[in-house]
Amino acid sequence: MANKTANVLARVGPEAKREAEKVMQKLGISASMVIDLLYNQIILTKSIPFPLALPREPKAREEMTGEEFSAMI
């Protein structure tokens, strides 16, 4: 195992931090372990290991076909 001496400093919202730490505690892993796992997945996949996309703006009802409206509901 490589010697882990590099530091990462990140700012996150307090609510996101609290909620994420609850999940990590249930999983029995630390934030450092999660960051290490993320970095290793980035290296292995040469990409971010989850999709990054902007949410689509919803269409107004008048802009939808009947099928699109039914699928949305």
Dig out the tokens for 25 from the structure. Answer: 């505690």
pLDDT value of residue 1: 59
34 occurs within a structural domain: yes
Our count of domains for the chain comes to: 1
pLDDT range class, residue 6, cuts 50, 70, 90: very high
46 occurs within a structural domain: yes
33 occurs within a structural domain: yes
Cβ count within 10 A of residue 20: 14
- Rounded Cα gap, residues 27 and 19, in angstroms: 13
66 occurs within a structural domain: no
For residue 22, the enclosing domain spans 7-52
pTM over 0.95: no
42 occurs within a structural domain: yes
Which whole number is the average pLDDT over 13-20? Answer: 97
Q: Minimal CA–CA distance to 30: which of 20, 41, 39?
A: 20
**pLDDT for 29-69, tens place per residue?**
999 999 999 999 999 999 999 988 887 888 888 888 888 88
